[in-house]
A and B are shown apart, each in its own frame.
Chain A
Amino acid sequence: EPEVTQTPSHQVTQMGQEVILRCVPISNHLYFYWYRQILGQKVEFLVSFYNNEISEKSEIFDDQFSVERPDGSNFTLKIRSTKLEDSAMYFCASSELLAGGLGTQYFGPGTRLLVL
Chain B
Amino acid sequence: KQEVTQIPAALSVPEGENLVLNCSFTDSAIYNLQWFRQDPGKGLTSLLLIQSSQREQTSGRLNASLDKSSGRSTLYIAASQPGDSATYLCAGGGSEKLVFGKGTKLTVNP
Q: Do A and B come from one complex?
A: yes
Residue positions of A touching B, CB distance < 8 A: 31, 33, 35, 41-45, 48, 50, 55-56, 58, 91, 95, 98, 100-110
Contact B51 A105 (CB under 8 A): no
Contact with A along B71-108 (1 / 0, CB 8 A): 00000000000000000010100011111111100000
Size of the B side of the interface (Cβ < 8 Å), in residues, is 24
The 27 sampled A-B contact pairs (Cβ below 8 Å) are A31-B96, A33-B96, A33-B98, A42-B101, A42-B102, A42-B103, A43-B91, A43-B100, A45-B97, A45-B98, A56-B95, A58-B97, A100-B51, A101-B31, A101-B32, A102-B32, A102-B95, A104-B46, A104-B49, A105-B34, A107-B36, A107-B44, A107-B46, A108-B43, A109-B42, A109-B43, A110-B42
Which of B44, B49, B100 has the most A CB atoms < 10 Å from its CB?
B44
Contact A104 B34 (CB under 8 A): yes
Q: Which residues of B contact A110 (CB under 8 A)?
A: 42-43
User: With A106-B46, A107-B36 given, is the CB distance from A101 to B51 under 8 Å?
Assistant: yes
- List 10 extra interface pairs beyond A42-B102, A43-B91, A100-B53, CB under 8 A: A42-B100, A42-B101, A45-B98, A56-B96, A58-B97, A91-B44, A101-B52, A102-B95, A102-B96, A109-B42
Q: Is the interface of A mostly helix, strand, loop or mixed?
A: strand
| Min CB–CB distance A31 → chain B (angstroms) | 6
Contact A43 B49 (CB under 8 A): no
Smallest Cβ-Cβ distance to A44: which chain B residue: B100
Shortest beta-carbon contacts, A-B, top 3: A48-B96, A107-B44, A109-B43
Q: Which residues of B contact A109 (CB under 8 A)?
A: 42-43
- Which B28-64 residues sit within 8 Å CB-CB of chain A? 31-32, 34, 36, 42-46, 49, 51-53
Task: State in angstroms the CA–CA spacing of A45 and B44 once bound together.
Answer: 14
| Min CB–CB distance A39 → chain B (angstroms) | 10
Q: Which residues of A contact B46 (CB under 8 A)?
A: 104-107
Q: Which residues of A contact B49 (CB under 8 A)?
A: 103-104
Q: Which residues of A contact B42 (CB under 8 A)?
A: 109-110
User: With A101-B51, A105-B34 given, is the CB distance from A48 to B97 under 8 Å?
Assistant: yes
